Structure 1
Amino acid sequence: MYIEVSWKLIDLASGQPLYHQSWEGKPAYVRTPKGDLEPVLTAQAQKNSVPIGGSHSGSGFAVTENGFILTNRHVAAPWKAYQMLPAGVRLELNQKKELVAVENVPQHRWYPEKSVWSQTPLGEQKPVAGRHDRLEVTFANNKLRIPAKLARVSDEHDVALIKVDTPAAVKPTVLAPESSYEDVRPGDPITVLGYPGVSPKVFFAGKSKDMLDPGGMNIVDIPVPTVTPGAIGKVIRGTVTTAGGGKDDYYSASDSYQLTANATGPGNSGGPVFDDRGRVIGLFYAGNPTITFAVPIKFAKELMEVKAVLQ
């Protein structure tokens, strides 16, 4: 499924969108007490200020007949993923309590939802949040955009659930069992399905048959999925039992499948990764021209369930 997203970061107190302020035409930043660089935010649009938000597309696949769709967290809830901020200047208060620029700041990462604006007592509501201006799903080879809703977002993995409401049942994709995570090996053949932005678009032009819009012409792009074959290059596990029998001797930043399917690109994120039996074993989530990665389906299935974290 083809997913189109537009979003913004808002101030919950006022409901207003937030903007990145500038200083003498350059993006302005401050350093937090923890030493992190944060953009100077304002709820009022000013000269040269830039709204926090954006638009992008991604991929996904149905997992239930009633319209639940798996995709990546950074596709469905981009405010929970890092954004690249442009180079600018860092501001400080001088002895006269005046804002002055003290140094140049290089391009760097920032997590919108973790903004200093959201520093509140533990467990309380955050004063900033991401909001969709658009979250729409289009089935393969179809022209109808269907509004979707954000259903669940993982706080540990790049996985999210969105939902569409359709009169007819949706055919779900076959998912591999959680136990397949232990069976995947380097060299296993895989197939990635998705909608890379670099793929040429197919358009449909249709004349309106609505009497209130006589002669109107609608031109929409039709999402045609790209099929990319490859193999599992490496299985990266967060924890394993080492030859010595313990788990404390091993560390990895995340659980992922490294893939050899490199003919992909932005827009493929959230697409299914199939094994040679036609089962989804992972979600494509990142890559560059030489290497790509997938989240094991085990963690997506955990998001689909309701499990207690305390006994």
Structure 2
Amino acid sequence: MQDQTPNSDEVSPAATDDVRAFLENLTGPSRGRIMWLSSDRSQVSVDEDRALLITHGTGNRPDRETAARLTWSGETYEIEALPDNDIWVNGRKIGAAHLLHGDMIEFGEHGPMSRFRLCRQSFPTRWPVEEILSDAVAYARTSRRPFGSRLSNALVESVRRILLETSVLFRVTVIFVLIVLTTFVAMQYRSDQIFQESIDREARRLEAVAIALAQTRQEALSADELAALRDQLDLQLSTNAERLATLERRLSASARVIRESTASVAFLQGAYGLRQEESGKMLRHVLGPDGAPLQTPFGKPVVDVDGNGKPVEFQFTGTGFLLEGNGLLVTNRHVALPWTTSDKLTAFRSSGFAPEMLQLIAYFPGLTEPVEASFLGASDTADLALLTVTPSATTGRGLTLSQTVPDIGDEVIVMGFSTGLRALIAQAGRDFLTALQETGETDFWTVATRLSEQGRIAPLASRGIIAQITAKAVIYDAETTVGGSGGPALDRNGQVVAVNAAILPEFGGANIGVPVQEVHRLLTTTAGK
């Protein structure tokens, strides 16, 4: 690269072997151009646009004022500032100076800046990066411009020279490194995304597990809860006894319906787990060295698909009732498939897990042993499900479905196991509760087994009035609560007119039942499959 200014007397390095040095212009209109120095004396001029011109010999351009004179001393050039012209070398104003390789020369108060280099009859066609960076640092240190302007000029010039004046190999290497770095950054970004998705998925899974386990713990009994139950037992039993006695005295027909229907109402107890869809493994507890399940500092169990303990159980209870003649058990869909309530199923699936029933059993009044129950089908339009049980449980049991729709104002008797195990323990009596405290048998499964063995499984009954009837719901005010879902709502003839499904506490404790017509529809649909 050389100065192509018209009428310039500067010598191209190709035209002579006597090139001794050059000025590399760093600022101004001549930035990036090389001014060759080959004669013993040269004149340096700066025009009004701050463009730099070298004239060899003692002549001068008539349209330009000479700013400095360069004279060869045998080893290097000496620079002399002419009258009325200011020259700075390495940031120091001079009258004359002996130039050294790499010196920074600034011509005039606002003139261009150049770097002096000795080339000893050879000029490098490509510059090493360290030289380019050295020039940038020297410029930033010696220029008298404002700091921001100096810094920006140094950076821009460094980038330009690295892109244009370094070797092809270096530029190819830089491009290759940039490609590698870009690829690495992209891969790292994608890896971070995958990791974040994994964290989010795990958080959703843990949230779903925590919610389900919290509901499970509601069924568990602690020592303190047993003590509280014992303290309240006498009052609760007295209240229940008085209520039932009053019901029998006032409505002998209702007492008969309760007595004849009790054996057909089942206490349902079950648990489901989670199976990882990708690996097919069950979610299990992680055991410590002592064989006990590990817990987090917040008291939550540590679980993992590679855990060495039992599968994590999400326990639940509910109510169901046998149908006469076919041995089928009717209950709610949210009882038979408890993971379908709230957002549990969505949370489980989004975290890569599928719920799977681990155990579902039914306890019938009068039977000391539980019977296995299996899912048969569920309604797509109502909160109903059908279960099958072993034939031994159906002998002499079963309720009849009403063929007609009840009227508003009709009485209904709702039967079920409201509040689950707690109500059964309260009904079992003080001695049973004391025995549980002494033996410490408060396990979800063991308590129900002990109740069944002692013949203490019996549903609660409550009486109410039908307040509203629609095609999808029967609303009544019979008292019931959580755990009574799936129980029958009976008319005065003992026939099922609805299946208890939900509570409406905001409406004075009203309950919603699924109309019996939906049960008929589900039976027809299931029989057709």
Give TM-score, length-normalised by structure 2.
Answer: 0.37
Q: Say which of 16, 27, 30 aligns to 2:281.
A: 16
3-state SS in 2 of match to 1:305: helix
| Relative contact order higher in (CA < 8 Å, ≥ 6 apart) | 1
Structure 1 unaligned segments of length 5 or more: list them: 27-41, 83-109, 119-126, 206-217, 238-254
Aligned to 2:270: 5
* Residue segments in structure 2 that go unaligned for 5+ positions in a row: 1-265, 285-295, 436-448
User: Any idea what the Cα deviations from partners look like across 1:165-208, whole Å, max 9, x if unmatched?
Assistant: 1347432211012xx23xx3321111101111252242779xxx
1:288: how far off? 4.8
Secondary structure, in 3 states, of the residue corresponding to 1:158?
Answer: coil
* Cα 1:174/1:236, change in 2 over 3 Å: same
TM-score (norm: length of structure 1): 0.61
> In the alignment, what sits opposite 2:457?
223
Matched, 1:130 2:347: no
| Amino acid corresponding to residue 191 of structure 1 in structure 2 | I
Counterparts of residues 91-170 of structure 1 (less than 5 Å) = 110-112=343-345, 116-117=349-350, 128-167=353-392, 169-170=394-395
Q: Which residue of 2 aligns with 1:251?
A: none
Looking at structure 2, the residues matched to 6 and 77 of structure 1 have their Cα atoms a distance apart, in angstroms, of 10
- The structure whose residues are more often strand, as a share, is 1
User: Please, which of 384, 401, 418 is the counterpart of residue 175 of structure 1?
Assistant: 401
Kept in 1: contact 2:321–2:329 (CA 8 A): yes
Question: CA deviation digits over 1:224-263, x for unaligned, max 9?
Answer: 11110001111134xxxxxxxxxxxxxxxxx11111112x
Q: 1:260 aligns with which of 443, 463, 477?
A: 477
Q: CA deviation at 1:266?
A: 1.2
Alignment of 1:222-301 (within 5 A): 222-237=456-471, 255-262=472-479, 264-289=480-505, 290-301=509-520
Partners of 1:57 and 1:307 lie apart in 2 by: 24
- On the 8 A contact 1:189/1:232 being kept in 2, the answer is yes
Deviations along 1:93-135, whole A, 9 cap, x unmatched? xxxxxxxxxxxxxxxxx141675549xxxxxxxx753322220
Between the aligned partners of 1:293 and 1:134, the Cα distance in structure 2 is 28
Aligned residue for 1:101? none
Change (3 A) 1:45 1:5: same
State whether residues 176 and 280 of structure 1, in contact with CA within 8 Å, keep that contact through their aligned partners in structure 2.
Answer: yes
Asked if 2 retains the 8 angstrom alpha-carbon contact of 1:191 and 1:230, the reply is yes
Contact residue 187 and residue 233 of structure 1 kept, 8 A: yes
Give the partner amino acid of 1:272: P
State the 1:67 CA deviation: 2.6
Asked if the contact 1:67–1:164 (Cα under 8 Å) also holds between the matched residues in 2, the reply is: yes
- Distance (Å, rounded) in 1 between the aligned partners of 2:464 and 2:328: 27
The answer as to whether partners of 1:77 and 1:130 remain within 8 angstroms in 2 is no
Counterpart residue type for residue 160 of structure 1: A
**Secondary structure of the structure 1 residue equivalent to 2:391:** coil
C-alpha deviation, 1:306, in angstroms: 2.8
Report the counterpart of residue 416 of structure 2 in structure 1: 194
Q: Specify the SS of the correspondent of 1:6.
A: strand
Residues 71, 160 of structure 1: 8 Å contact kept: yes
Q: What are the Cα deviations for residues 276-301 of structure 1, in whole angstroms up to 9, with x where unaligned? A: 22110110011155221111111122
Say how many residue pairs are matched.
217
2:339 match: secondary structure: helix
SS at match of 2:525: coil
* Cα deviations by residue, 1:120-163 (Å, 9 ceiling, x for unpaired): xxxxxxx7533222200111243211111111122221101111
Does the C-alpha gap of structure 1 residues 52 and 305 become closer, same or farther in structure 2, counting only changes over 3 Å? farther
Match of 2:41 in 1: none
CA distance in 1, matches of 2:278, 2:522: 30
- Contact 2:504/2:512 (8 A) holds in 1: no
Asked whether 1:61 is paired with 2:321, we answer: yes
Contact 1:113/1:130 (8 A) holds in 2: no
Task: Say which one has the larger Rg.
Answer: 2
The amino acid across from 1:284 in the alignment is N
Helix, strand or coil for the counterpart of 2:334?
helix
In the alignment, the residues of structure 2 paired with residue 113 and residue 266 of structure 1 have an alpha-carbon distance, to the nearest angstrom, of 23
**Residues 336 and 375 of structure 2 are in contact (CA less than 8 Å); yes or no, is this contact kept in structure 1?**
yes
- Counterpart position of 1:75: 335
What SS does the aligned partner of 1:148 have? strand
Q: Percent identity?
A: 26
Kindly tell me: are residues 157 and 194 of structure 1, through their superposed partners in 2, closer, same or farther at Cα, counting changes over 3 Å? Answer: same
Q: CA contact under 8 A between 2:490 and 2:497: conserved in structure 1?
A: yes
